[in-house]
Amino acid sequence: MKWKKFKIKTVTDAEDIIISTLYDIGLEGAQIEDKVPLTALEKEQMFVDILPDGPADDGIAYLSFFVEEKEDGSLELNGEPVTEAQICEKVKEELDGLRMFCEIGEGSIAVDETEDIDWINNWKQYFHQFYIDDLLVIPSWEEVKPEDQGKMILHIDPGTAFGTGMHETTQLCIRQLKKFITPETELLDVGTGSGILAILSLMYGAKHAVGTDLDPCAVDAVADNMANNGIAPEQFEMMIGNIINDKAVQDQVGYEKYDIVVANILADVLVPLTPVIVNQLKEGGIYITSGIIDDKETVVTEAVKAAGLELLEVTYQGEWVSVTARKKETQCAG
């Protein structure tokens, strides 16, 4: 398919009202490009693969709307034939109307044509199989090469939840998990995303895993990745909710029952999470964290110590840090 792309230059404060206004004339599915920093909630919902800070917000935004171009080059809007010029005129009229009561910035309209883009699958060209030490990570749309047969292979599709294993923080967690997993391991993965850490733990021999996440999209991503890796439904249980402040989620997850808790989130989330998660760990249980940029290392290690955990190891990859700790065992009086 070919598409006509109508790209509007505006300001970030006007994004929502322009999208809503143009939706009313039949333009849907806006693509937003801006430099607005992530909110605290958005950062909290970045599950596994954590992106670095972007450029400073300059207040400028670009909104792109796409109209399918028929084989004969014609366009339709709301089921009616329309020309490129007519769409531009409709958009201009709406923008001029908005200018009367809000600032929309430049409000210019650029038109371009895109060639046969598969909007659902186009991103797959950027994700290919790769190794994490001796582990081969491969997406479902690629074949295992003959020379890789017999190796430990993780079939992973990120779907709409982050988590492919490419990011340093994920790799740091994987290496730490391998050190502590046993056939009796009960594991809790907080912010499980695509389920990569829990699924790999089961593949490495853990007995059972529970994953929590804030985003309902993680449920389908986890289910797909479990199926792709031969993980039985009874091995991995998913829960949606915020374990930090939701008592119902804490109760459902359970107390003092996990040999390992892994959390690959963000330092600012790990600080309030740590004193809560102590209650889920067994005595002697291992707490593995990452998602920590190097200048936040002390913040997390201090939170670990303040929660009464014993700091075991701090590991590094690039600018990222993993902190591993242990829940102390109660000493019986002699």
Residue with tokens 């598409």: 3
Cα separations in angstroms, 81 against 66, 92, 168: 15, 19, 50
Q: Is residue 170 marked as binding?
A: yes
Q: Is residue 264 marked as binding?
A: yes
**CB crowding 33-64: b at 16 or more within 10 Å, else e:** ebeeeeeeeebbbbbbbbeeeeeeeeeebbbb
Instruction: DSSP for 225-257, please give it.
Output: HHHHTT--GGGEEEEES-TTT-HHHHHHH-SS-
CA distance 5 to 8: 10
Residue with tokens 């044509």: 113
Give the type of residue at 109: I
Helices (H) and strands (E) in the chain, counts: 9, 16
Q: Is 36 helix (H, G, I), strand (E, B) or coil?
A: coil
CA distance 288 to 180: 10
CB 239 within 8 A of CB 211: yes
CA distance 19 to 309: 49
Maximum CA pair distance of the chain? Answer: 89
CA distance 194 to 138: 14
Give the type of residue at 155: H
Binding residues: 170, 191, 213, 264
Binding residues for S-adenosyl-L-methionine: 170, 191, 213, 264
